[in-house]
Amino acid sequence: MIIVNWNTRSILRDCLSSVFKQTQGIEFEVIVIDNGSSDSSVQMVETEFSQVNIIANTENRGFAAANNQGIAIAKGRYVLLLNSDTIILDDVIKKTVLFADTHREAAVVGCRVLNADRTLQQTCFMFPSILNMVLAATYLYKLFPQNRFLGRERMTWWNRNNVSEVDVVTGCFMLVRRQAIEKVGLMDERFFVFGEETDWCYRFKKNGWKVLFSPDAEIIHYRGQTTKQMAKEFLLQLQGSRLIFVKLHRSRLAFRFACFLTALFFFLRVPYWLATAALRNHKRKMAIQNARTYLLGSFYCLANWKKLLMNKEAVEGKL
């Protein structure tokens, strides 16, 4: 399994502890790729988990590139991408491997994901499309989560209690067949973070593989532990990654419309944060910052969408 870490020493320790405690009856290796952490994450792993193979990058290379580093040295017939902010429960890795062994048509298998309070986390979603982006911009799926049309992109109506073929398995726990990787290739490193699993699943499916969800095993995912360190940058990057996907896999006209819809997504949220700043003194600073970020995101979408990206210099000429 491959765990990418960036300044999450404490939760990485919990994640690794759960892996070794909860994984029985199966051979596995653990590879940690540290993306230039400054919180002594590397030293903690070397001291407390000597059985882990750790690669220490001198800079943050991004999620896709770091995972590719791990895949290059991994030896197993499956590669498990696991977020550092997860806790393994009830032998989930063995259960997922057994499921994959009986579903050889699957390139990717995901499991059931829970929040810290053990409520369901709605992982798995559809590929970005113009229709899905229109619905996402309205936030109507939050008001009507059981509506299959409004909630189609995030599949908000689905309780994740049954085996299902899906478009995308969320990258916090993503078991990938080595044979499929050899045919399709590694993650696209133009996705610095976010969207890389979407692009990968799309490429797997285009090459005849399936992406499956299994409800028989669970993990806990403390989402946002990495992104909260640079909330503004990650917010812009999330939408920028969606635009990368559309540019790579949809028509030129669809991409232009997607830029407009993303600009609308950002702009529609500015009045809310301005009102919050005016009405709630204790949240004023945060609300003003959010309003600025959304306004800036809207401008970038219309003027130069690549400015949304955290690795904009690296992708110049490649998109």
State how far the Cα of 19 lies from the Cα of 296, in Å rounded to an integer: 41
Residues 68 and 168 grouped into a single domain: yes
Same domain? 75 vs 165: yes
In a shared domain, residues 193 and 232: no
Does residue 224 come out as left (phi exceeding 0), alpha (psi in the -120 to 50 range) or beta? left
Query: Is 6 within the bounds of a domain?
Result: yes
The model carries a pTM of 0.95
Q: Which residue, of 204, 221, 238, is where some domain finishes? A: 221
Task: Please state, in angstroms and rounded to a whole number, the distance separating the CA atoms of residues 2 and 5.
Answer: 10
Mean pLDDT rounded to a whole number for the chain: 95
Mean pLDDT of 182-207: 97
In a shared domain, residues 256 and 205: no
Q: Tell whether 69 and 189 lie within a shared domain.
A: yes
pLDDT classification of 158: cutoffs 50, 70, 90:
very high
Final residue belonging to a domain, choices 180, 197, 221: 221
Residue 18 clears pLDDT 90, i.e. is over it? yes
Q: Report if residue 292 sits inside a domain.
A: yes
Give the CATH number for residue 10. 3.90.550.10
Over residues 185-207, the mean pLDDT reads 97
pLDDT band at 231 (very low <50, low <70, confident <90, very high): confident
The predicted structure's pLDDT at residue 313: 87
Average pLDDT rounded to a whole number, residues 241-246 = 97
Task: Inform me whether the pLDDT recorded for 214 exceeds 80.
Answer: yes
Last residue of a domain, one of 194, 221, 248: 221
Number of domains in the chain: 2
Residues 205, 233: one domain?
Answer: no
- Which domain does 82 fall in, by range? 2-124+160-221
Residue 178 has pLDDT above 80, yes or no: yes
**Within a domain: 16:** yes
pLDDT of residue 108: 98
Asked whether residue 90 falls in the same domain as residue 207, the answer is yes
Q: pLDDT by residue (tens digit) across 97-123?
A: 999 999 999 999 999 999 999 999 999
Distance of CA 22 to the CA centre of its chain: 23
Q: Write out the H or E segment, with its range, that includes residue 253.
A: helix 252-267
Asked whether the beta carbons of 175 and 108 are under 8 A apart, the reply is yes
Residues 216 and 238 in one domain: no
Average pLDDT of the segment spanning 281-290: 93
Same domain assignment for residues 26 and 97: yes
284/189 same-domain check: no
Mean pLDDT of 197-201: 98
Least confident of 106-115, 134-143, 223-232: 223-232
Mean pLDDT of 170-183: 97
